[in-house]
Structure 1
């Protein structure tokens, strides 16, 4: 007996397609969340490696590395003709000094710490990518081109510089360096900082009297979430002020520090694409501690920690542990964790 062929009706097909689309819509956020959780875990592991490498350095040398070294004569030597000549600046950071403890011997052995960052002798090493220095959630670095471009590699982490500005300001009273009337004359009036890492200064682990489990060591300094393509100029091997693309006509370029960050700006504070916040913030500060009293400095994200992870950023603490800190963290508690000897009390609910 012949039977009629059965088939799906149009309505049945539409129902099936709708069900499939609904399932995809339900599963896609879960897949995205799972992938982000995996990237965040890898980022935490990177910071764990960086923290352990730094602690191993401290065990080997009885002190933490330079946060940033600019002059080759340290400490200040009165017999040297130009003891505070910053031309050219070395600008090597903690990330260069801990390289051997991260299995980065190839890059470190070719790196000349007595030559400045812009010496061609260091170009090869500065271009070496260290996987532990790159967060998987950070957008891919696009190498800059040009005859005068330093071929630095991508980086997503910075050292904790505390609350003192260490890049544009110094502790001299007269503006002439070295100034014997100012503080830190022995290191050319540079800023040791109240964090774990300073300029031309090596802190000891024993100086972290606030407790190593309550003090930030490293944090994320990835690209900003709203950055345009081609604005890839963060590096952690070189410490200093850097200028990115000009994104606001008639102003200076996007200026930010590299190699480290401070906790004066709020966590994941917005990027200043020009100089409006910069002038309002640093332009009213006379000494590094003064800029913390300027409200606009909280919004100068170019000098702060930031992350591509939603809701906060990953940090490594001075005891070697790692932690995810939310954007809504109390500013007072966040700043307290950035100082090594501020005697602040941070409660668990902060």
Structure 2
């Protein structure tokens, strides 16, 4: 406990760690504002206040207008031919046209050409809006032509009208705030052990009446408890911002299990790789491979955290969290055995 308190007190003097904590605090405290800004980057129509005026022409004018009317923030204007629509697009100051959609039917197929502004910020907004228009057109055409097809394609998934704010908050923001402290805690463990070895201060610690295992345990305790403590604070701040989390206790247990697992692996890397840069590199690569590999499974940490936060977790979710806890305990025990096998003279 003395070593753990010493580690925690030293964190306040680490500017990088303090800045990381401040950044996470800002994200959690002002999450409602950040969600609006970040969602507007990939779904501008949901923000409101900006209209994309589209010139529509060609043989499929009616179909394009119907598809555009279903997209929020898109205002279609019908032109008699492609030349007049293009001319209006080339003179936006007078016409206010932001893009052009020209639909033509050839050989029983519908071809649509789109023109958007070149190389400016407006281009991103226009492209995203036109993408939604073309998706609606494709869905409508597919449904209309299904009866004339000799072979029916795969059924379209049901059309959803969910809010992008809802999906972004629970699939991006909440996992980010929960798992970022876990990775930082692992990095702290690597730095703490490698610095003690490089500076020779680990030998001074061993003069005290503590064993090497107790030294490692103290450092793991300080680093592994930091992540769940932050998770509790972030969830409270999210609640103040109107983001309700369905299973906060289970999420904190999940974070604690992953923090123990990652910090134990980080301690093993630091014991086996005495040089700080090498240890940090191995830790970073290992975390990327391990965490990236888990995304291949349906019950990966991000998916489990998102479903627990939303309240749509199935009956297997508690067992998944328990499995992570058991795995973390197993890795911790293995690291303690590794510490016992390390020759004190090499440290």
TM-score normalised per structure 2: 0.26
Larger Rg: 2
TM-score normalised per structure 1: 0.25
